[in-house]
Structure formats: C-alpha cells, structure tokens
Amino acid sequence: MTAHDVEFGIKRVLDPESPGASVAVYFVLEGGQDYALGRSSDAGSVGVRALDDRTVEFRLVAPAPYFMSVVNRPDAAPQPRHAIEHQGEAWSAAEQQVVSGPLRVAEHTPERLVLVRHEGYHGLRRGNLAKVECTRSAVDDAYPAFSRGELDLARVVYTPHTADHVHSQVGGDEPLTWLAYIGFDHTHAQFRDVELRRALALAIDRSALAKAAPANLAAATGGIVPPALYGHSPDIAPKLDRDRAREHLGRSGAGGALTLALTAQDVWSELLEIVVRGWRNGLGIDVRLDLWPGHDPPAGSLLDHAPMALFGWMPGYPDPEYMLRLLLHSEARTNAVHFADERFDELVESARQERNDRARLERYHDADRYAVADRVAVIPLVYGRSTALVQPHVHGWWEFGKSSANFADLVVERTA
C-alpha cells in the first residue's frame, strides 16, 4: 500500500453514496463537506492528495489543532484500491485481506473477533502478541472469567457496571471522557417545543443521580463536552427546580404519556428510574420505557421507535469540536436527534475558524451553553470513564475516549 491508498481511503469515507460512519470528521478537508453532502461531484476538489508513493498532502478549511488525531483514526488508514476495485465487498474477508500491520483478522463475527500475527510484518511495533481473541458480553458476566485468569483484559465502554466486585476493581480517578444523554427527535411534534424540553430538564434530580452512579460514572452538571476534554463547561446543565419545570410544562401545553427508548436496560435501570420518577412525581407525566435488549440498538435509530432516547457520545479525538459539531451541527451526518439551529451552527463555525486558542474555546463554551442551557437540544445525564480491568502480566494498555492502545504494542509476560 502507498500514499495513494491513503487518498483513496479518505475519499471513499467521504463517498456520498456510501459514507463512513464518522464522515463529518473529514469535513475539515477542503471540499470534503460539499463532496460528502452531494453539493459537488468533484472528488479531486477534496483536500487530500498523494504527492508520491510515500507523501500525502492535506488542505484544511480551518485551523485544526486536533488533525493529527484525525489521521490516526482507523478510517483514515490506507485502503487498498487494487483489492477493493478487484474484489468489491469481499476485499476484507479473512482469507484475502490486504494487511500492512503486525496483526491480521483470522475470524470476525458480530460476537467474536480473532487477530493473529501477520508473519510478513517487519516493522517496529514492540508488542509480543501472537493471537488476540475478543468477545462481547456484559462486564458483570466477564468478571468471573477475569478473576479466574481466563481473560487478560475486560473493557468497560458506555455502560454502568453494577456488580460490587467490579466496583472494587475500578477506581474513580480515570478521566471522564464520554457523555450519556437524553436525546429528542427535534422533528417530532412534541419535542419541537423547547418549553417541554426545559420542563423535563428542570425536573431531573442530579444529586440523586450522583448518589446512585457507579464508580465509572458521574452525574453530568455541565455541558456536552466531558470534563476530561479542554473546553468543558461546568455547571451549565439545568438544575432541579420543580416549580419552574411545571411552569414551562404549562406553557408547552403538552399532555399524555412519553416514551423513552434505550438498549441494555439492565445496567441503566436504576439511573433512569430516578429520571422517570422525577417526571412522574414532579410533572405528572407518565413515561414508558421502550426497552431493547442486548448491546446494539434496533435497525436504524432509536428515535425511529420513540421520540426520546438514551444515547452515548464519545470523543473520536480530544477536542470540543468533535463533541459539539458532530453531535448537533445541522449538516453532521452523526446528528441523530435532527437538531437544526442556525445560531448553534454559527457558533460552532466561528469557533472552527478562530485562530486564537482562548477565543476558540470561548466560542465552544458559548455553543455548549446555548445547546444545553438555552435550547435544551439534549439533556446531559452522566459523564463516563472508559475503563478496563487488566491482568498484571499485560503491559502497555492505555485508554482515552475512543482511542486506546494498539494490541500490537502490548507485552504479555506469562509465568508457568
């Protein structure tokens, strides 16, 4: 693979016919946004170009102090054009994949991933792993196998974990890197009304959430940008005020029951019960939970099944731009709640173009405050720590948001 495969891969992510899941990350490239949204059909206008086999040039539309984190993402990796054009969707199958790194995929199903060492690799990655077997389960189910030494590592991502033995293993010192929030379908007749959204936000008892939160969560009292990221805005989430909540509910004219959709309800039930109890007792609103078992949401968005849902959002790179623009900008493909607000878009775009770091952060603070406190675009619920249980013979693991150690860098020192 060459630099030309880097250019090909990023333009493939931006392809409007089949865009990548996080395509808006690459809107920082010249022409990237217009190409991905179908406003331009000229792939050559996109600001990524191979100058020779080993050199790639990127042209940006705005200052991007986070950009090296962007090109370190998996979807920025080179994609082998010769294999994709020859074999189509089958190019990544285990028996014919093109591999440039130290590990290759030996098996891949929705519940299991097996990586084995690529014998043709002669690079400098320092790890000694010969094989990695990854499976999915609830962390409470994984812990017994971990405690018996059958698992080397158990990652805890996006969920509270409830077993006492897991609590004892995970401290509260890891950075709070991700957000769980209640999102609304802003195209739905009920939730187009900001008064109803304000009423719901003001009826949540965050002190009760703080008491009930397990070790890897903390009640969200600030904005969308989590505390671990610079640009966090503390103390802007609406505080409990039942009298004001009832006033706003009265102005909204809303009545009847509400439905909130979520997955993996077993681990969220205690926290959501606090939220639902506040809405029932404080506002007289009956709330039904639309529960989807398992790790994955149903096909499409949860908001296809209910006008309100529990979501998680984790930074793909350590910058407030990711949390705010990709979550709520009207042209972000990852804007699951369909929030479209011209003022918010202006705040985010002005922050992106700002070259002074202090002024840039102030604009992101303004955007966060506007979204959470003024427009209640979403309701921040808790901040979370992506944590891992790691056996002492595994060395080199680290984690921050979506970023984590490469398996090829881990060293396992087993004893007889």
pLDDT for position 143? 86
What CATH number does the domain containing 244 carry? 3.10.105.10
pLDDT band at 356 (very low <50, low <70, confident <90, very high): very high
pLDDT for position 300? 61
Residues 357 and 214 in one domain: yes
DSSP assignment letter at 378 = E
Whether the per-residue pLDDT at 295 is higher than 70: the answer is no
What CATH number does the domain containing 398 carry? 3.40.190.10
Residue 87 lies in a domain: no
Residues 288 and 357 in one domain: yes
Amino acid identity of residue 367, one-letter, is: A
Residue 405 lies in a domain: yes
Contacts (Cβ under 8 Å, ≥6 apart) of 34: 40, 45
Residue 15 lies in a domain: yes
The answer to whether 337 touches 378, Cβ cutoff 8 Å, is yes
pLDDT for position 32? 95
The model scores a pTM over 0.85: yes
Residue 163 lies in a domain: no
Residues 337 and 205 in one domain: yes
Contacts (Cβ under 8 Å, ≥6 apart) of 280: 286, 287
pLDDT for position 92? 84
pLDDT band at 199 (very low <50, low <70, confident <90, very high): very high
Across 19-42, average pLDDT: 93
Residues 392 and 284 in one domain: no
pLDDT in tens, 380-415: 999 998 888 899 999 999 888 778 888 999 999 977
Residue 103 lies in a domain: yes
Across 360-369, average pLDDT: 97
Residues 212 and 346 in one domain: yes
Q: What DSSP line would sit under 7-75, residue for residue?
A: HHHHHHHT-TTS--TTGGGGGGBTTHHHHHTTS---GGGSSEEEEETTEEEE-BSS--TTHHHHTTSGG
pLDDT for position 294? 54
For tokens 């993402």, what's the residue?
73
SS (H, E, C) 146-176: HHCCCCCEEEECCCCCCCHHHHHHCCCCCCC
Residues 311 and 325 in one domain: yes
Instruction: Dig out the tokens for 207 from the structure.
Output: 């002190």
pLDDT for position 201? 97
Distance from the first to the final alpha carbon of the chain: 40
Residue 171 lies in a domain: no
Across 107-135, average pLDDT: 90
pLDDT band at 73 (very low <50, low <70, confident <90, very high): confident
Residues 364 and 392 in one domain: no
d(CA 304, CA 364): 30
DSSP assignment letter at 90 = G
Whether the per-residue pLDDT at 165 is higher than 60: the answer is no
Whether the per-residue pLDDT at 265 is higher than 70: the answer is no
The answer to whether 397 touches 388, Cβ cutoff 8 Å, is yes
The answer to whether 289 touches 262, Cβ cutoff 8 Å, is yes
pLDDT for position 172? 56
Residue 162 lies in a domain: no
Residues 292 and 347 in one domain: yes
Looking at the chain, the whole-number percentage of residues with pLDDT higher than 90 is 65
Q: Domain range for residue 199? A: 178-384
pLDDT band at 299 (very low <50, low <70, confident <90, very high): low
Looking at the chain, the whole-number percentage of residues with pLDDT higher than 70 is 92
What CATH number does the domain containing 48 carry? 3.90.76.10
The answer to whether 4 touches 77, Cβ cutoff 8 Å, is no
pLDDT band at 212 (very low <50, low <70, confident <90, very high): very high
Across 181-208, average pLDDT: 95
Whether the per-residue pLDDT at 296 is higher than 80: the answer is no
pLDDT in tens, 137-155: 877 788 899 999 999 999 8
The domain total for the chain is 3
Whether the per-residue pLDDT at 298 is higher than 80: the answer is no
Closest by CA to 199, choosing from 191, 207, 187, is: 191
Residues 26 and 129 in one domain: no
